Structure 1
Amino acid sequence: MKYYIRTFGCQMNVNDSEKMAGILKTLGYEPAQDWKEADVILVNTCSVREKPDQKVLSALGEFKKIKKDKPNAIIGVCGCLAQRAGYEILQKAPFIDMVFGTTNIHHLPQLLEEAKSGNKAVEILEEIDENENLLDQFPTVRENKYTAFVTVIRGCDKKCTYCIVPTTRGKERSRRIGDILREVQFLVEDGVKEIHLIGQNVTAYGKDLGDVKFWELLQAVASVPGVERIRFTTGHPRDLDEDTIKVMADLPQVCEALHLPIQAGSDKVLQAMDRGYTQKEYLQKIDLLKKYIPDIALSTDIIVGFPGETYEDYLETVKVIKEVEYDQVFAFKYSPRPGTPAADIPMTESPETISKWLNDLINIQKDITFKKNLSYEGKTVEVLIEEVNEEGKLTGRTRTNKLVHVDGPQEYVGYIVNVKIEKVNRFSLEGRINGGD
C-alpha cells in the first residue's frame, strides 16, 4: 500500500504533511514516487490567497483519473481550505472520499478506515480538538534528513483584516516546552543538524501558557546536545522584543537570518490591515536587529494593492524595501479571502495598476538581492550540505539562508563545511569546500 501527499502553502502545512506521512507509515503505507501508484492521495491545502485554491481544484481534477485504474483508491482533502470550505469542495469534487480540517489530523487513521468502508469520511471541527497534541506523538517523514521543522505554537490571536488564518487554524496554542525538547532530542538522534521552529506566530510562543517566553524556548533548544543550528518562522513584529533579539545574538546556534513580515509600508494601510504597528515602530525593530546582529539577513512579506492603497502608500513600501535592504521579499497582489473584514472593502486600483506596482517592486528587490549576494564573493562561509542536486553538485545553505552549490564529494552531505564563494548569481552562490585547499 502506497501514499502520495501534495502540499500547498506554508511551513506549517509542510510539517502537517510530514506528520500525516508519519501516521501513514505507522499504518504500513510506503511513499509513492508518482500519484498514479498511490492507494491514498492526500491534498493538503492552503487558503491564504486565491491562487492556491485554484491550484487545489486543478490538482483534484488530475488525481480523479486514478479512480479509473484504481477504483478503491482514496482521495482526501485536508488543511486550511478544507477547514474553511470543506463542504463546498466536496460539492465541486464529489469523487473525494475524505475531507478533514487542521485540528484533527490525528484522526486520520479512523477517517481512512471509514473511507475504505465506502463512506464519505468528513470531519471539520468548529472547535479546537483538545487532544490535537496527540499528533505530535507520531513520527515525521521528512524529505530533508538534516533539517527539520518543529511546530511550537499553533493558531494566531492577531486580527489582521486580510487574513483567514485565525479562522482556519484557531487561537494560539503553545506546546509545552518539555514536549518540544523531547521531539528535538529525537530529531538530533535521527541525524538532524538544524532545527527550524515554526508557528503562525512563533514569537508569541508561551503567552497562552503564562510561564515561559519564546527566548527561553530558544535557550532550551540550544542546550540540547547535537543541535548545531536553529531558525524560526514566522514571527509577528509586535511580538519580537529586545530580550528575544539579545538571546538570538548570544546563542551561537541561532542563525543570522530572520523573516519579519511588514506587509505594507504605509501607516494608513497598516492601520487598515490592523497590523498593530507603524512604519517607524517596525523600522525600530529592524534597527535593534542590526545593532545586536550586524550581519543578519532579513526577509519579509508584502501585500501590494490592499483596498484603499494609493500610489503614495505604495511608495512608502518601496521606501522601506530600499532602507532595510532585505535579502529576500515575498510579494503578492492582494487577494480577498471570504470571511475576512477586508473582503468587503472595495478595491481602489485596477488589477493592471496593481500588477505594475508588484512587478516594479519585484525588480527593485531583485537588484537589492543581487547586491547583497555580491558581498559574499571571495568570502568563506559555513554551509550545511543537505543534498546532491541533479547536476551532481552539493547543495546547502549558509547561516544567513543563502542557497549554495558546491563542488565536492558526496561524503560531505550532512556536514557543516567551510565554503569559499567563487561565483555569485541572483538567487544562489557557488563555491568550493575549504577554498579548494
Structure 2
Amino acid sequence: MKRYYIRTFGCQMNVNDSQKMAGMLKSLGYEPARSWEEADLILVNTCSVREKPDQKVLSALGEFKKIKNKNPDAIIGVCGCLAQRAGYEILQKAPFIDMVFGTTNIHHLPQLLKEAQAGNKAVEIIEDIDENETELDRYPTVRDSIYTAYVTIIRGCDKKCTYCIVPYTRGRERSRRIGEILQEVQWLVEDGVKEIHLIGQNVTAYGKDLGDVKFHELLYAVADIEGVERIRFTTGHPRDLDEETIKAMAEIPQVCEYLHLPIQAGSDRILKAMDRGYTQKEYLKKIELLRKYIPDIALSTDIIVGFPGETYQDYMETIKVLKEVEYDQVFAFKYSPRPGTPAAQMPVTEDSETVSRWLSDLINIQKEITFKKNRAYENKVVEVLIEEEKDGKLTGRTRTNKLVHIDGEHNLLGEIVKVRISKANRFSLEGELAEKLV
C-alpha cells in the first residue's frame, strides 16, 4: 500500500485544495502516512502571499529530500501559489523534485503522478484558467475535522491591490454554480458535518461573474439544507460587503456572529496606494452597519505594517482604527514585497527595525483588546460545537469563533452544547458544561 504526506502552507483555500488532493489520492489507493519519512509521495502545497512562506517551502524541501536516500522511488511534488508563480525557479533550486504544478490544474494530479512514476519530470504550469478545473470539486475531501468542513464557492480575485500576488497566482474570479455547491454541502451533511465554512479569495463577490445569483442568496440556500447547524464564510473584501449580505447574516439562524473583514491599513493615503477602493470612513461605516444588525458580532481583520510610503502618522491611523473597532483578533504582518506586484517597485519609507517596532507595539495593543473582549465572556453561557476530546478535556468553538476548553470526558464529539464560561485567557476560554443542545 502506497502512502502520501501533504505539507500545506497558507490560507484556507490551500487547506481545502490539500483536502481535495488527499481525496484524489485516496481514490488512487493511497493512504495517509503518519510522517513524511514513511511516505511514497510527498506533496508541498505552497503559499506566496508573503516572503516567509516562500523560505519555509525551500527549507521543507531540503528536509524532504532525505526521503530519496531511504526510498529512491519516492516522489516529491510542489504545487500551489508559489509553484504557479515560480515553479521553474523552484525546480532549479531543488532539481530533485519530481512534480511541479500550479493552482488551476490540481485536478491533473493523477496524470502527473503517473508521469512522475514513469521516471519523467512532471511539470505543468498553466497560465490561463483551465475550463475543466471544477473537476477538482467532484473529489471527496479528506478532512482533519469530522464536524466542520470547507466548501470552496469562488476562486480567484478581480481586485488589484498593489501588494497582492493572489490575482496572479489564482487568476480572475470564477464562481461555482450554486447547484454544485449545494450538492457538496448535502454530501458533507450526510457525512456528519455540522458546520459549513464557505471559502474563497473574495467570497462576498460570489455570483457577480455568473449574473444570476448573489452571495446572500447562497447563504439562504445553504441554510435551507437540513442538517446544516452552522455557517461561516471567509474571506470577503469590504467593497463587496453589502447591506443585503449583512441582513442575511442577521436573519439566518445558522450564520455565526463572526466576520473576518480585512482593513490592511487605517490611513486613507496608504489605502489609496494599496488600491483598496475604500476610505477609513467607508470601512468604519461597514463596521457600524454590522453592529447595527448584529450587535454581538465578533470581528477579526488583516493589517499590513510598513507598506511603501507609510509614515508614523499613517501607522497611527491604523492604531486609531484598532482602538475604535476593538477587533476580537488581528492578523498583522510586516509588508513583504511580492515579485511582479506594483508595490514591489515602490520605495519603502521606514527601515525594517522601525517597522518591526511598530508591529510589536500594534500586537501588544491588540493583545490587551483581545483579553478585554474575552473577559466579557466570563459567567456567560455560550453555544459550543465540540470538535475534539483529548486528555480529559473537550475543545470547541463558540459561534463567535472563540476557542473553548471544557473539563471532563462526556462523549459529546460533534454535539452543540451550552457552556458556562468560568475563565478567560488571552487567546481562549475555559468553561463548564451547562446543557446539550443538538
Interval containing the TM-score (normalised by the shorter chain): over 0.9
The amino acid that maps onto 2:358 is W
Give the alignment of 1:185-224 within 5 angstroms. Answer: 185-224=186-225
The amino acid that maps onto 2:163 is Y
Q: Deviations over 1:202-234 (max 9, x none)?
A: 000000000000000000000000000000000
Residue in 2 aligned with 1:81? 82
Distance 1:43 1:359 in 2: 31
Residue in 1 aligned with 2:358? 357
Distance 1:283 1:312 in 2: 19
Distance 2:423 2:278 in 1: 40
8 A contact 1:380–1:435 mirrored in 2: no
Please identify runs of 4+ aligned residues in structure 1 that moved more than 2 A. Answer: none
* 3-state secondary structure, aligned to 1:96: coil
Distance 1:150 1:397 in 2: 19
Residue in 2 aligned with 1:31? 32
The amino acid that maps onto 2:42 is I
Distance 2:60 2:216 in 1: 40
**How big is the shift at 1:407?**
1.5
Residue in 2 aligned with 1:346? 347
Distance 1:246 1:375 in 2: 26
Residue in 1 aligned with 2:405? 405
Q: Normalising by the residue count of structure 1, what TM-score does the alignment of the two structures yield?
A: 0.99
The amino acid that maps onto 2:251 is D
Residue in 2 aligned with 1:257? 258
8 A contact 1:327–1:368 mirrored in 2: yes
Residue in 2 aligned with 1:21? 22
* 3-state secondary structure, aligned to 2:13: helix
Residue in 2 aligned with 1:167? 168
2:389 corresponds to 1:388 = yes
Q: Normalising by the residue count of structure 2, what TM-score does the alignment of the two structures yield?
A: 0.99
Distance 1:355 1:370 in 2: 22
Distance 1:435 1:309 in 2: 51
Q: Deviations over 1:355-384 (max 9, x none)?
A: 000000000000000000000000110000
Distance 2:36 2:204 in 1: 37
8 A contact 2:392–2:409 mirrored in 1: no
Residue in 2 aligned with 1:332? 333
Distance 2:66 2:41 in 1: 13
Any unmatched runs of 5+ in structure 1?
none
Distance 2:76 2:233 in 1: 33
Distance 1:214 1:63 in 2: 41
Distance 1:433 1:414 in 2: 14
8 A contact 1:420–1:435 mirrored in 2: no
Distance 2:410 2:153 in 1: 33
**How big is the shift at 1:423?**
1.0
* 3-state secondary structure, aligned to 1:412: coil
Give the alignment of 1:268-283 within 5 angstroms. Answer: 268-283=269-284
Distance 2:370 2:345 in 1: 36
Q: Deviations over 1:258-277 (max 9, x none)?
A: 00000000000000000000
Distance 1:64 1:432 in 2: 47
* 3-state secondary structure, aligned to 1:99: strand
Any unmatched runs of 5+ in structure 2?
none
Distance 2:173 2:325 in 1: 30
Distance 2:23 2:232 in 1: 23
Larger displacement relative to structure 2 (404-413 or 28-37) = 404-413
8 A contact 1:382–1:418 mirrored in 2: yes
* 3-state secondary structure, aligned to 1:149: strand
Distance 2:358 2:92 in 1: 37
Distance 1:122 1:164 in 2: 21
Distance 2:253 2:193 in 1: 17
**How big is the shift at 1:410?**
4.4
**How big is the shift at 1:392?**
2.9
**How big is the shift at 1:153?**
0.1
Q: Deviations over 1:105-164 (max 9, x none)?
A: 000000000000000000000100000000000000001000000000000000000000
